[in-house]
Structure 1
């Protein structure tokens, strides 16, 4: 029996300290099973090259709990280690066996799927164990060995009578980590980190029911059999070629990823690239809500089928973190804990590729079946609008598929929309004004007024619309957006209208003075307009710029960006001087009646705008009943 000290030198003491970067102790099981997978895949690779003169067979990894003995076993049927290899790979901390193996077989390792790169995974065992043992036998004729260590730099190494190739790791679980002796806890970890590992993982057994024999009686119980409980799917959909998968396969995989998600995804995007980096995966577009905060962290990042994290920020563009699915790449650089991305040019290339792939898929869906694409628009628009706002390359591609729905359910692309507006607005040299509504119900009267003039009104109701409109206006100098209840609308209608004022200049001045006298403390800017007599007598509008700045403040834009603090309330009171009621106000003999008519008309306009609330609304209702009596 040999004894000695683990080689902790100046060169490798820093990686040893790094093991404390593992944020969760539970990560040890992922690391040990990753090592077991590496050992098995190495054997498969050597067998395929003819260097391992043995039958590869159908190896599996087994996890066993010895609750009474307070031990956890991880057993593989992989390449194993000789005594010299144990000394080299275990005692010389952070000397990565996988790195050396890949370097040796670098010309033939494209499909080997070796996972380990850091050499520290094994030492995560000491976060949960008082003692760690390795019983291993190489695939060669070297004798088996038994290594053990209590977490100090001292170790024991002796011969073992193990006959089969492979490695068994035995953890003597510490008193503060007995949760890892519970079957439910281990099952949870295996399904979290190792659900799609490329080698079958056995954890206990399960009972399966067999068909009844033909001669069995009706009340005879069906026969059962105990079988290995394989907890993982070694061949998940993303590892296969798109040509080998049907639509139902993609749906089944979605259910496997999200068993508690009952709604089907709208469509999927299969990622598969091997140059200039390796990346596979499947992204799904689910039905989305306007609440961005609950949508994120649903994409799972894997490295050679080992789960790493569901925080994919930096790899996936931020606007696509609202999607679901899997991304798997051996080229994503991770630190020793495999938990955080390092800054790297490859990551940026991967992010750009995913952006382009998603844009191409959306373009294809739009061209292939526009009608179906329009039906799905409300469920995916938040992602697309966010992408247009945050990713310049995506914005450039989006004009091919981004849709702008009207309040009547008609959809336009941006180019179609511009042509439609040009046909409606007579002065082709001026800016084109796109009218839109953010709430069909509360802005109904304004929508109807605009439609009566022949204008299309878009329905733009997602929370990031103010920011997106600003970007669209910046990239299209001859175009601006105005909500139907904004002051721009009146100018636009006025340009189209040829209504002649029924009042003289003297009457206009008198009317304006009367109204301003009543509304002086309400903060309205009074504007007299000659409009159709059927139009409302009083209309309240809000300057587009001021309203949009307030909205951007609420979604994290304007206030912090421009340092304006809280934007003031600013409204215009548009008075239709051709309306009969306005003529009655002007002709009223008593100031009391005139003031009452102005206040009632103003409150009706405020009610239409949604500005009449609380005590003022109560007073308005009481006053209305009095007028009826």
Structure 2
């Protein structure tokens, strides 16, 4: 069918359009196609950014800066020591990008203009195999020139020294790098050159930061102009042995592995084979007849586009029954940057005065950073607060300190979005949420103790001390926390084997006390003379080996109607009958001459001497007063240096340490019976007095008290040995050693020359720095 002029022009136009479309698609094999949004080109339109040209690089007006010492040390460790966990660099950069997006979204709640420069909040990853670069871009809050210098040239002191020390001891610690705020530097695991372009709403210009991970970096105004609108773009020039990170498949797997639960879209520039229409070339003289029924011809071609990787719905918004164990484990790792699976979790929805959803996790191990933050009153940032899926803050203290080892998410529906973080902390809704979280956490611990005793023992090994701290601090939860604790005892010496409820169930008739003994370890307690009489009578003794235990029981005086009794302090009540009491009184009268002599002989150390009701095989025991320090408590406090931190505490400690003790004697021991005879016959010699002093000192050690004068004790032992082998106390050892030579004149002159140079190298790093 012949075409009229109008039809001919229409077809010709379509043919020409088809021709240019084919040409564009052919060009696209070399360069990714543009993705338009509302007909406006965004920083995410192209897969790859416009590179700085050689001319631009040559003409850059840069300022050079030197890295902070800690940064240089860190990068030296990363570059030269840490290779097996290199892939974590992508997790760290994505997490930083997510934080930047969170910040700009939070600002936009009170300042709608904050997102005006770019409302498209996302993270993109694009690899360029040709230039061997990997580009990660976000539309977050961005950085000013000053922030580029401060944030990427120095490290905040908090946690850095601890991190570097751990890294130098064990390179496996790199897996925890993000927890110390130094995650950016992990890029040097895979890159030998890094370029960071960033644009902030607070700076009219876009700037670039560059470094080759030696000891300095440069900052300059970006000659490409404001290509980002707002946000940060990191370009990694990969090392040859890191080219595998240019592969699309590997990038997607890493995003899914580490960052699938990031709340912002993560897009990877991807290629795929698609069927595209084929438009044949035509001669100018040819006419084409329309054919409605003819199928259009297609061919397979490689096209590029963004692929959304983290499509998973926020885990806390889903039904808890639909979430697998594996999903919880992966979400926990994404949330915390931890590499180990959590011990347990609680996923729940709070209803009533305020509606919210939450997920709480117990990390498998506690970090030193937790205790450092407790000491310095810093937040452990355990909970991320969201309101209607919008991240608000991780600075809000939703958990008390003793529960801040938990990690998790809280997403509330009924809280205002336009309040400051300071006001938010005092919001009534948060107090309600906190009560719910504490209850759910305690329920989680209880369920773990019943469902998986082995895992619960691991939990107590890590967090038992913190639960005791919580019981001391929080009277409201004291009984519940105490019931969750587990201890070793004379019934079962395995760690964390018995609860206080178990102990009470096994208690003897009319037993009114919970007997316990403190020590550094179970072996030490089992050798103590204090436990002899109780074990002989069939009483169970709880073995406290945690340094906080004695403080714990002082603040928790009883449990379910029974009082704690430290068998190393004060009197012990065995609930004995009148006949036993009468026998004890008779023994007191019988041994009074000996006890009075012991008090006069050992008056520097003891306040009184009494007949013991707790000894069966040992001759003596030294007991602290009821309100005094036991031997174990004194050793713990001395080791912690408590007395040196506070002058007032030093005086109190010295007063308690110098308290005179109570000496208990075993009336059934042959040594005590013989001594009684010698005292009654007034047949006490100087040697016998010296032996009594030695016996007291050895008993002091056995009772857990440190000796005041170790030299005097050693002298007495040596004197006893000399007498036993027949050597005079006055006979001295023969000294046969050669005296060291005095310095020669040449050595003295060399020392003088060294002084004149006045060079002092404190460390090997200082020497290396001067050489450079």
What's the TM-score, normalizing by structure 1?
Answer: 0.59
Q: CA deviation at 1:198?
A: 3.4
Aligned-partner SS, 2:617: coil
Preserved CA contact (<8 Å) 1:290 1:382: no
Q: Which of 632, 652, 662 does residue 565 from structure 1 map onto?
A: 652
- Return the alpha-carbon distance in structure 1 between the equivalents of residues 724 and 641 of structure 2: 43
2:326 aligns with 248
2:516 aligns with 435
- Return the alpha-carbon distance in structure 1 between the equivalents of residues 339 and 468 of structure 2: 24
Aligned-partner SS, 1:547: coil
- Return the alpha-carbon distance in structure 2 between the equivalents of residues 432 and 453 of structure 1: 14
Preserved CA contact (<8 Å) 1:585 1:598: no
Q: CA deviation at 1:370?
A: 5.6
Distance 1:66 1:397, change over 3 A: farther
Preserved CA contact (<8 Å) 1:266 1:285: yes
1:518 aligns with 2:518: no
- Return the alpha-carbon distance in structure 2 between the equivalents of residues 391 and 419 of structure 1: 26
Q: Which of 714, 720, 725 does residue 618 from structure 1 map onto?
A: 714
Q: Which has the larger Rg?
A: 2
Unaligned 5+ segments in structure 1 are 1-42, 44-51, 53-58, 75-88, 99-112, 114-121, 131-147, 156-169, 208-223
1:362 aligns with 2:456: no
- Return the alpha-carbon distance in structure 2 between the equivalents of residues 307 and 406 of structure 1: 47
- Return the alpha-carbon distance in structure 1 between the equivalents of residues 501 and 221 of structure 2: 64
CA RMSD, Structure 1 to Structure 2 (Å): 5.5
Q: CA deviation at 1:150?
A: 8.7
- Return the alpha-carbon distance in structure 2 between the equivalents of residues 483 and 305 of structure 1: 52
Q: CA deviation at 1:227?
A: 8.6
Aligned-partner SS, 1:441: helix
Q: CA deviation at 1:457?
A: 1.2
| Alpha-carbon displacement from aligned partner over 1:545-565 (angstroms, at most 9, x marks no partner) | 2227977997999x9999983
1:457 aligns with 541
Distance 1:183 1:406, change over 3 A: farther
Aligned-partner SS, 1:282: strand
| Alpha-carbon displacement from aligned partner over 1:199-253 (angstroms, at most 9, x marks no partner) | 422366799xxxxxxxxxxxxxxxx999968786754543432211222322233
- Return the alpha-carbon distance in structure 1 between the equivalents of residues 545 and 146 of structure 2: 55
Q: CA deviation at 1:542?
A: 1.4
1:600 aligns with 694
Q: CA deviation at 1:484?
A: 3.1
Preserved CA contact (<8 Å) 2:487 2:544: yes
- Return the alpha-carbon distance in structure 2 between the equivalents of residues 609 and 67 of structure 1: 76
Preserved CA contact (<8 Å) 1:334 1:342: no
Q: Which of 386, 389, 411 does residue 472 from structure 2 map onto?
A: 389
Aligned-partner SS, 1:388: helix
| Alpha-carbon displacement from aligned partner over 1:31-58 (angstroms, at most 9, x marks no partner) | xxxxxxxxxxxx9xxxxxxxx9xxxxxx
Q: CA deviation at 1:391?
A: 3.2
1:201 aligns with 266
1:183 aligns with 235
- Return the alpha-carbon distance in structure 2 between the equivalents of residues 560 and 424 of structure 1: 48
Distance 1:529 1:229, change over 3 A: farther
- Return the alpha-carbon distance in structure 2 between the equivalents of residues 123 and 248 of structure 1: 30
- Return the alpha-carbon distance in structure 2 between the equivalents of residues 417 and 333 of structure 1: 49
Distance 1:358 1:610, change over 3 A: same
Aligned-partner SS, 2:652: coil
Preserved CA contact (<8 Å) 1:300 1:326: yes
Q: CA deviation at 1:447?
A: 3.5
- Return the alpha-carbon distance in structure 1 between the equivalents of residues 328 and 49 of structure 2: 33
Q: Which of 520, 532, 538 does residue 620 from structure 2 map onto?
A: 538
Aligned-partner SS, 1:606: helix
Distance 1:604 1:183, change over 3 A: same
Q: Which of 315, 339, 347 does residue 270 from structure 1 map onto?
A: 347
- Return the alpha-carbon distance in structure 2 between the equivalents of residues 63 and 300 of structure 1: 36
- Return the alpha-carbon distance in structure 1 between the equivalents of residues 200 and 668 of structure 2: 96
- Return the alpha-carbon distance in structure 1 between the equivalents of residues 466 and 614 of structure 2: 42
Distance 1:497 1:624, change over 3 A: farther
1:316 aligns with 2:372: no
- Return the alpha-carbon distance in structure 1 between the equivalents of residues 46 and 535 of structure 2: 69
What's the TM-score, normalizing by structure 2?
Answer: 0.50
| Alpha-carbon displacement from aligned partner over 1:156-215 (angstroms, at most 9, x marks no partner) | xxxxxxxxxxxxxx9456986889554369x9xx99x997443422366799xxxxxxxx
Show the 5 A alignment for 1:99-248.
127-128=144-145, 171=206, 182-183=234-235, 196-202=261-267, 234-248=312-326
Moved more, 599-608 or 498-507: 498-507
2:111 aligns with 94
Distance 1:379 1:337, change over 3 A: same
Preserved CA contact (<8 Å) 2:260 2:309: yes
Preserved CA contact (<8 Å) 1:319 1:387: yes
Distance 1:341 1:441, change over 3 A: farther
- Return the alpha-carbon distance in structure 2 between the equivalents of residues 345 and 234 of structure 1: 32
1:575 aligns with 665
Q: Which of 364, 368, 375 does residue 286 from structure 1 map onto?
A: 364
1:220 aligns with none
Preserved CA contact (<8 Å) 1:196 1:306: no
Q: CA deviation at 1:595?
A: 0.4
Preserved CA contact (<8 Å) 1:199 1:234: no
- Return the alpha-carbon distance in structure 1 between the equivalents of residues 609 and 401 of structure 2: 45
Q: CA deviation at 1:401?
A: 4.0
Preserved CA contact (<8 Å) 1:533 1:580: no
Preserved CA contact (<8 Å) 1:527 1:572: yes
Aligned-partner SS, 1:536: coil
| Alpha-carbon displacement from aligned partner over 1:462-501 (angstroms, at most 9, x marks no partner) | 343344323432776x533233322234x54987994946
